[in-house]
Amino acid sequence: MSPTEHPITDAVREAMAISLRGAQELLPEDAWLKKLARSAATGQPLRIKLGLDPTAPDIHIGHTVVLNKMRQLQDLGHQVIFLIGDFTSLIGDPSGRNSTRPPLTPEQIKANAETYYKQASLVLDPSKTEIRYNSEWSIALGSMGLIQLSAKTTVARMLERDDFTKRYAAQTPISLHEFLYPLMQGYDSVALKSDLELGGTDQKFNLLMGRQLQQEYGQEPQCILTMPLLEGLDGVEKMSKSKNNYIGITEPANTMYAKVLSISDELMWRWYELLSFESLAAIAKLKAEVEAGRNPKDAKVALAREITTRFHGAAAAEAAQEDFERRARGGIPDEIPEVTVHGAPMGIGALLKSAGLVPSNGEGLRKVEQGGVRVDGVVISDKGLKLEPGTYVLQVGKRQFARVSLHAA
């Protein structure tokens, strides 16, 4: 072992495992392991940065995928920095865009930023969180500093970025100010001397720019950790308020609970991996029980209780479950047709047809699209939903019901 290296203890390996849980990429892994070992040996916490632009007034649970990871690292004793991008919001992040994104006004940014940290504190420990605004150093940089910063990368490097490449090939306009966004985000890492920066997979280029600029400024380069983008309620598109497939973390407990129950069984396991604080071993055990015949609704109820408890407390989560079950019972007639169907897992359109509630699969899917289908009292929005063996109350419209016992083929 060289004098500058530190021992890889069991505690360091455990910290590495926590870092990797649910992550898409950790780059470079060996550098992060060395940073963890150094921190453990010296007692000096690492500086871990997450930046969010206040582009909307509320945070949804998709944002909490990276916040959860921040909290895990915070609980290991490291210094987390919640960075509000009040300056970068003036530029507009082009990540994942095929057209220029209009920048926000200072008034919009100020209004949105007021709620961001308060909501993030529902996940992070506010007493151990450093909150910063990147206008602190970005405005002070000035025009001369910005020119000098721009000299530290090239147009060719910018065009390596996937969305810029596609837009350039398609002759879709790219404004010069959009090149400034990854530069300014990267400069945030220089200003904060970060050891690790977190972000979604769509932020990889920007995070790597931080590493590049830190090297240019003579700093030890940060590692980067990207987390997957959480699919929304439809199970297809990433969670977004604009797509109306989201759960806001300040939504009422009853609404939050019901929305979690509305997701497909397949999506449920993805959410368990990215949103649950249960151990991977406990989740694997639960999944094995479902595959062995346990009703998947039991697992979904447990997930809904966990998420609702996190943001509203255990009493509110219990009340939300009772309210949901009461509404589900109250909306179902005492006597409804009972049907036995074989062929699980079965798509929702085919199951509605097999139950005699619609004349065709296509009509069933149209009813789903129109919001006219409920399973166990929950409105279904995912046309790709497949139901596993179990007993379900299906409802189409206000008056058509069937209790279906679905069995494997």
Distance CA 63, CA 165 (A): 27
Six token digits for residue 95: 């990540």
Distance CA 382, CA 149 (A): 46
Q: Does residue 128 have a known ligand-binding role? A: no
Cβ neighbours of 44 (radius 10 Å): 12
In terms of C-beta density within 10 A (0-12 exposed, 13-18 middle, 19 or more buried), how is residue 202 classed? middle
In 79-203, alpha helices (H): 88-91, 106-120, 135-150, 155-158, 162-169, 176-192
Distance CA 212, CA 221 (A): 7
Of 210, 297, 293, which Cα lies nearest the Cα of 260? 297
Of 26, 66, 57, 4, which Cα lies nearest the Cα of 275? 66
The set of residues, in sequence order, having a beta carbon less than 8 Å from that of 209 and lying 6+ positions away, is: 153, 182, 183, 185, 186
Residues annotated within a binding site for ATP:
241
Residues annotated within a binding site:
241
